[in-house]
Amino acid sequence: MTIDLPSLSPCDALVAVMVAVSCSDSTIRTSELVAIQRMVDHAPVFASYDDDRIRPISQTVMTLFEEEDGVDALFGLIRDALPEKLFETAYALACDVGAADGRLYEGEVMMLAEIRDQLNISRLHAAAIELSARVRHMTV
């Protein structure tokens, strides 16, 4: 089966990265969905984004995850849509989604590694972004 792949806006690509992390462990948790919605509602990069796009972008990601080369296709779409200056932003948003429920699951760890690789995030910058996400999601 071939999927008709949409073209994504830069903000769609950021949403796709966040959804990919949430879907990566086969369980989309409420805390992750709330985190995605919160970031779309409040992050400056999404200031003019129509959040009605979240659902169709999420469906595209989930459909691609079911395909044999779907993850590769997803990252092709993301790299085509996302300006390089937003690569680290994408990784930061992905880390925040992964950390939203208080722990990282194996699938999420592997997806974050894939995002780092696909978006050429340096290990030093990735470590700083990961630490930042971890401390923002600490509980007492």
Q: What is the pLDDT of residues 82-94, one digit of tens each?
A: 999 999 999 999 9
Cα angle at 119 between 114 and 123, to 5 degrees? 75
DSSP 34: H
pLDDT at 3 over 60: no
State the burial class of residue 105 (Cβ atoms within 10 Å of its Cβ: 0-12, 13-18, 19+): middle
* pLDDT confidence bin for 19, thresholds 50/70/90: very high
pLDDT at 5 over 70: no
